[in-house]
Amino acid sequence: MRTYLETLGCQMNKLDSELVVGMLRESEHTFVDDPKQAELVIYNTCSVREHAEDKVLSRLGWHDKRQADGAAAVVGVIGCMAQRMGGELTQRFASVDFVCGPGQIHRLPDLIDAALDGRKPVALDPARSEPRDAAAEAGVNRLDVSRRANALADEPALATLCDAQAYVRVARGCNQFCSYCIVPFVRGPERSRPPQAITEEVRKLLDAGITDVTLLGQTVNSYRHAEPNGPTTRFADLLAHLSCLPGLRRLRFVTSHPAGFTRDVLEAIRGLPNVCEYIHCPAQHGSDSQLQAMNRGYSRAEYDDFVAMAREVVPEVVLASDFIVGFPGEREADHQQSTELIRQAGFKNSFIFKYSPRPGTMAERTYADDIPDDVKKRRNAELLAVQNAASLAHHEGYVGREMEIIVTGPSARHDKQATPPTPQRMQLMGRSRGDHIVIVDGPERLIGQYVDVTVTGANDRSLFGDLRRQP
Ligand code: SAH
Ligand code: SF4
Ligand code: F3S
């Protein structure tokens, strides 16, 4: 069946899409990059901001029109927005044939069959307050473990990783309940996977040629697994187990939460040679009153302490953050505190988002969305400008230094170069251990390899390097 899959949202969704592609390929699906050519169209969706949902709603409107014009594709919605809206999607859009929550994706082959039979199945995860279904949990966990190491760099939706890189989930769900956030509602309570299952999965990936693994969790550093009557594995223990696996050159993890960031994890980064010196640990805001209204569970001083401790224990550490502007009640003075935090912390980069009220969250139910959009836009642009200057300064600090990168693919602009690219020489992109983007000219065969470069230049997004020696 010709299938088109589009993925929105975070790395969790990208990993889920990879698992979906691997599973559907076994039942004779081929993947195409144009929805018009597809017999089956699947959207793996995100609910984190209204904009992400609007994108999918407009795609579904397009499918409704096509269906009215007589074009027949089976259309399915999976992921977080599927979970949030459920049967409302099949009611609102005649073209939607099935809906599948993030904890049900192992059932997709059956759901597709039911949809082909003309039924309109809606398979959702239980609400947070309801008990989890053990069979469904086991089913979706099996999908993680049974995956092939099919790093799907050839699938457009998944082209963010090269053949040597893979995401591995260590936990599902989130218990943090930041007041603005939909994730705890759509992804359910936090469940840490057993360390044996994670180890088995990583070992399989390494056997298949993966060398660079990114562990995923919404608050990845709060990973904790207790065997009944047995040992408890905390996140630093998990890093220590995994780092011993032969063939693992790089191990990193996203996303960290500042409140539970303990010294042992920093010591693991310092002490374990393949654990990378990169921590994405969003601050979200620089002002105490906003942090409190966001229910983040730490103060500005505590975040500053985290940054200081990270730099003390791991002097080479590279930090990255997220910020929200225009959260309800944000005064100009609060906003200045975020600006100041970015000036001080030395983040490599920050993602900056305008607050978007999400239905059912504490913030949406409690506070009016009282910051006008033009103010949100201005504050967003201001934070971005301050972060861009900080990113440039951060990157400039590496000029003249040598570093190892993994070459991940052609650079985004490789075809716009003065001299046309050839397999012998093209503009390539790679990643440092600190997750810097590094642009370097070299032969195509280096993709997926580790090379040493000398950094010769920098801007606010990337470093530019020369190959020191080729393997
Ligand atoms: N678990 C991760 C990522 C969650 S979503 C973490 O805690 O960092 C990624 C980012 O989206 C968040 O860090 C936050 O900055 C942003 N975000 C989440 N909900 C949002 C909302 N309602 N409006 C705007 N940005 C939001
Ligand atoms: Fe959302 Fe907060 Fe959980 Fe991150 S930690 S997923 S921002 S509730
Ligand atoms: Fe979006 Fe779901 Fe990730 S809401 S950010 S795809 S966990």
Asked which of 119-123, 206-210, 262-266 is least confident by mean pLDDT, the reply is: 206-210
Ligand 1 site residues (CB inside 6 A) read 48-49, 180-181, 183, 218, 255, 257, 282, 284, 322, 324, 353, 355-356, 358
177: Cβ below 6 Å to ligand 2? yes
User: Which amino acid appears at position 464 of this protein?
Assistant: F
Q: Per residue in 396-437, pLDDT tens?
A: 999 999 999 999 999 988 777 767 888 888 999 999 999 999
Q: Per residue in 219-262, pLDDT tens?
A: 999 999 999 888 999 999 999 999 999 999 999 999 999 999 99
Ligand 1: distance of its center to the CA of 10 in Å? Answer: 10
Say if residue 183's pLDDT is above 90: yes
Say if residue 470's pLDDT is above 80: no
- Going through 88-134 in order, the beta strands assigned E by DSSP cover 96-100, 122-123
Confidence of residue 38 (pLDDT cuts 50, 70, 90): very high
Ligand 3: distance of its center to the CA of 9 in Å? Answer: 5
Cβ neighbours, 10 Å, residue 79 = 29
Say if residue 270's pLDDT is above 80: yes
- Going through 126-249 in order, the beta strands assigned E by DSSP cover 165-169, 171-172, 191-192, 212-216, 224-226, 232-234
Ligand 2: distance of its center to the CA of 257 in Å? Answer: 8
Ligand 1: distance of its center to the CA of 271 in Å? Answer: 30
Q: Whose CA is nearest to atom 1 of ligand 2?
A: 181
Q: Do residues 46 and 180 make contact, with C-beta atoms less than 8 angstroms apart? A: no
Q: Per residue in 336-370, pLDDT tens?
A: 999 999 999 999 999 999 999 999 999 999 999 99
178: Cβ below 6 Å to ligand 2? yes
Among 174, 180, 221, 284, the mutation site with the greatest number of ligand 2 atoms within 8 A of its Cβ is: 174
Confidence of residue 192 (pLDDT cuts 50, 70, 90): very high
User: Which amino acid appears at position 196 of this protein?
Assistant: Q
184: Cβ below 6 Å to ligand 2? yes
Q: Per residue in 97-117, pLDDT tens?
A: 999 999 999 999 999 999 999
Domains of the chain from N-terminus onward: 2-123 (3.40.50.12160), 134-396 (3.80.30.20), 402-469 (2.40.50)
219: Cβ below 6 Å to ligand 2? yes
Cβ neighbours, 10 Å, residue 338 = 28
pLDDT at 419: 75
pLDDT at 159: 55
Ligand 2: distance of its center to the CA of 397 in Å? Answer: 32
Nearest-atom number in ligand 3 for the CA of 13 is 6
Ligand 3: distance of its center to the CA of 52 in Å? Answer: 9
pLDDT at 72: 84
Question: Residue 138 is inside which H or E element, if any?
Answer: helix 134-146
pLDDT at 153: 45
Q: Do residues 43 and 61 make contact, with C-beta atoms less than 8 angstroms apart? A: no
Could you tell me where the DSSP H helices lie in 274-372? 288-293, 300-313, 332-345, 362-366
Ligand 3 site residues (CB inside 6 A) read 9-10, 12-13, 46-48, 79-80, 182-183, 186-187
Please state, in angstroms and rounded to a whole number, the distance separating the CA atoms of residues 67 and 407.
43
Q: Whose CA is nearest to atom 5 of ligand 2?
A: 176
Q: Whose CA is nearest to atom 7 of ligand 3?
A: 183
Among 6, 14, 46, 81, the mutation site with the greatest number of ligand 3 atoms within 8 A of its Cβ is: 46
pLDDT at 441: 95
Confidence of residue 273 (pLDDT cuts 50, 70, 90): very high
Q: Do residues 157 and 6 make contact, with C-beta atoms less than 8 angstroms apart? A: yes
